[in-house]
A = this chain, B = another copy of it.
Amino acid sequence: MRVGVVGLGLLGGSVARRLAVRHDVVGYDADEQTRRAAAAAGLTLVGSVEEAGVGADVAIVATPLAAVATVLPVLSTSDCRVVTDVVSVKRPVLAAALAAGLAGRYIGGHPMAGTEHSGFAASDPALLDGAAWVLCLEHDTPIESWLAVAELLTSAGSPVVPCSAAAHDDAQARVSGLPHVLAEALVTVGGGGGPLAAVLAAGSFRDGTRVAGTRPELVAALCDGNPEALADVLDEALAALGEARTALAEGRSVLPLVTAGHAAHREFTRPLASVAERLDAAASTIRADLLALGAAGGVVDGVDGTVMHCRRPVTGRLVSPQPRTGKSPP
């Protein structure tokens, strides 16, 4: 396939270098120094966003969220077949894509990989090893556009998770937005302890604050772009922490919270058996089939014509047996 990558930072650079092993990849970045570093690393560069889109089977937007509204209209005027992206929130990018006239040609994407570093210098094709890659499927997404991107990603070894932009953003608030906000709060409060606290800080503090080393604008974008879902999960976290605080103040134990956390941690870390299955892209139920696969924690590992090779965990929900009241289940 011919692939155009716009934005060659940590993620865009890693994606471009990974896909270039098997595909015809061209890249563009607004920053000249980044373009030079990418060319020195062996990537083929083009001179503009538009050129990255021309003739592309898939154009991948890997810019910060703030630049998406500028880049998508340019790609919309190019003849590229499908546009996807790697931005960590999906509802705002979907809205920008529709506003840019990309209905039917835009498939939201999000590889679940990253580090606290940024920029092309930190890019590494191995960053994406084994990382799940969300590909959004809405009620009106053309299956053939979705398939084209899924084929590209699975050909490079990425398991693809089908879900809607809304379901992605709800889950992202829990497993990405929340840990980032908690890490920032932890390191800020820890810092209030001065040098003695700094000397005493060990593994629990180091691990819990690692992502606070991420560039502030990136963290703010991933939170600010998902305000409603993140406010909801912050309410859940505030309730749990407030209960722990009350227990301590009243001389009770925090054991209930800790026991619940330990059980949830065991569910998250236990190895899951999975069963292989095939889905037929030509089936009339394929959209619902794919969304059910993603909601069950399943992935698409390969696309072979209209046959999708999938894996589905043997067990269903890992932890919470019921979706929260008032929220649409993923």
Contact = CB atoms under 8 A, between A and B. Distances in A.
Interface stretch (A39-47, A77-85, A256-264): A256-264
A88 to B, nearest CB: 10
Contact of A264 (B114, B188, B215, B257): B188
A202 B189 contact: no
A268 B231 CA distance: 28
Interface string A158-172: 000101000110111
A134 B186 CA distance: 22
A171 B183 contact: no
A183 B195 contact: no
Contact of A189 (B113, B184, B240): B240
Q: Which of A179, A234, A249 has the most CB of B within 10 A?
A: A179
Give how many copies assemble into the complex.
Answer: 2
A290 interface: no
Given A207-B211, A268-B187, A258 B174 contact: no
Interface centre among A199, A228, A257, A320, by most B CB within 10 Å? A199
A207 to B, nearest CB: 5
A324 B190 CA distance: 12
A1 B305 CA distance: 74
A254 B181 contact: yes
Given A185-B241, A320-B191, A208 B205 contact: no
A251 to B, nearest CB: 7
B134 A200 contact: yes
A179 B186 contact: yes
Given A195-B317, A227-B248, A253-B224, A268 B209 contact: yes
Interface of A: 112-115, 131-132, 134, 161, 163, 167-168, 170-172, 174-176, 178-205, 207-217, 219-220, 223-224, 227-228, 230-231, 233-238, 240-242, 244-245, 248-249, 251, 253-255, 257-262, 264-269, 294-297, 299, 313, 316-320, 323-324, 329-330
Given A212-B261, A216-B258, 4 more contacts: A174-B190, A184-B260, A195-B317, A198-B319
